[in-house]
Amino acid sequence: MIPARFDYLRAGSLEEACQALAADEDAKVIAGGQSLLPLLRLRLSYPTTLVDIGRLPGLSGVEDRGDHVHIGAMTTHDEVMRSPVVNAACPLVAMATATVADPAVRHRGTFGGSLAHGDPAGDLPAVVLALDGVLVARSERGERDIPAAEFFVDYLESSLRPGEILAGVRIPKLGEGWGYHYEKFHRTAQAWAIVGVAAAVRRSNGAIQEARVGLTNMGSTPLRARAVEAALRGVEVGEQVRPACEAAAEGTSPPADLHAQPDYRRHLAKVLTYRAIGKAAGAP
């Protein structure tokens, strides 16, 4: 498992990194390397140059910015899951991050890297999608905000343009009355999700006022389960939640692989959505 030859550039500034990426469309950003290096070693990816943004200042860290939390792209998973700000203001992000791979990977892998990689089986894309996060891209031309709904284009493909680097993510605070849960279904602790469900639920007077549901590994991109979100609106927490969750797999096109066929994934999406909603809504 030895990568093909590539050039390596440790960028001294964001401008330098953006220039290098703009100049060569086969150049690739390396952040924590936890997704990219396996692809290189399996020779499934042949970038000409790796642009290392690991030493760039200002790309790492979590900040409370009033109505939203800003997570720098280079913030490691371990930092994210331990951040008091994240745990207080957007706990769903912390919950999902804690399920990513294993401690070694979480100390190297980065929040922004996971999103820019765009793997629909990754845990964080569905979470950012469910929370209506905004991804901030930087290039020589300046900053561009990309809503999560427009960021994930296809399998391992984002709407970042050549020369753009994901610099950070804004996660809007949802305010009072919300509950959260990330339900990950996987065969071993270190395995990817067969299906994952990210749920945020606002409950009042015993009923679900609003639900946000993001699905992991149910298509070529992370998906919002809009049908189930609509079906859950106004539903009293109790027996009616399960029938509403039957809509969870609507509009999905789950993959077939060694771990699950599509029909099983559709079934799991319903069961897991029901469980995630129940836990997010604080149901007994």
Partner 1 sequence: MTELDAGLVGEQIAESGQIAEPTGRGEIGRARRRKEDARLLTGHTRWTDNLQQPGMVQVMFLRSPMAHARITRVDVSAAKELPGVLAAFSGRDFADEQGSLPCAWPVSEDIVIPDHPPMAVSEVRYVGEAVACVVATDRYRAADALEAVEVDYEPLPAVMDMHDALTPGSPKVHESGNKAFSTTITSGDVEAAFRDAPVVIDRTYIQQRLIPSAMEPRAVLASTDGDTFTLWSSTQIPHVLRVMLAVTTGIPEHRLRVIAPDVGGGFGSKLQVTAEEVLCLLLTRRLGRPVKWSESRSEGNLTVHHGRDQIQHIRLAAEADGRIRGLRVELLADMGAYLMLVTPGVPMLGASMFNAIYKMDAYEFACTGVFTTKMPTDAYRGAGRPEATFAIERVMDELAAELGIDPLEARRRNWIRHDEFPYTTISGLTYDSGNYEAATERAMALFGYDKLRAEQADRRDRGDPVQLGIGVSTYTEMCGLAPSRLLGMANYGAGGWEHGSVRMLPTGKVEVITGTSPHGQGHVTSWSQIAADALGVPFDDITVLHGDTAVAHKGMDTYGSRSLVIGGVAVLQACEKVKDKARKLAAHLLECSPDDLEFEAGAFKVRGTGASKTIQELAFAAFTAHDLPEGVEARLDSDATFDPDNYSFPHGTHLCAVEVDTETGMVKIRSYVAVDDVGKVINPLIVEGQVHGGIAQGVAQALFEEAVYDADGNLLTATMADYLLPSAADLPTFTTDRTETPSTGNPLGVKGVGEAGTIASTPAVVNAVVDALRPRGVRDVQMPCTPERVWRAVQGTRGGVRS
Residues forming the site for partner 1 (CB under 8 A)? 1-2, 4-5, 38, 41-42, 102, 185, 187-192, 194, 258-261, 264, 267-268, 271-272
CB of 273 to partner 1, least distance (A): 12
Helix (H, G, I), strand (E, B) or coil at 279: helix
Neighbouring C-alpha atoms within 13 Å toward the C-beta of 22: 12
String of b and e for 196-228 (b: at least 16 CB within 10 Å)?
A: bbbbbbbbeeebbebbbbbbbbbbbbbbbbebb
Name the residue nearer to partner 1 (CB basis): 46 or 149.
Answer: 46
Name the residue nearer to partner 1 (CB basis): 38 or 234.
Answer: 38
Name the residue nearer to partner 1 (CB basis): 205 or 258.
Answer: 258
CB of 131 to partner 1, least distance (A): 25
CB of 10 to partner 1, least distance (A): 20
Taking residue 157's Cβ as centre, other Cβ atoms within 10 Å add up to 12
Name the residue nearer to partner 1 (CB basis): 184 or 203.
Answer: 184
User: CA geometry: angle at 208 spanning 211 and 111, to 5°?
Assistant: 30
d(CA 20, CA 98): 33
Name the residue nearer to partner 1 (CB basis): 119 or 164.
Answer: 119
d(CA 170, CA 275): 27
CB of 258 to partner 1, least distance (A): 5
d(CA 192, CA 217): 9
CB of 136 to partner 1, least distance (A): 31
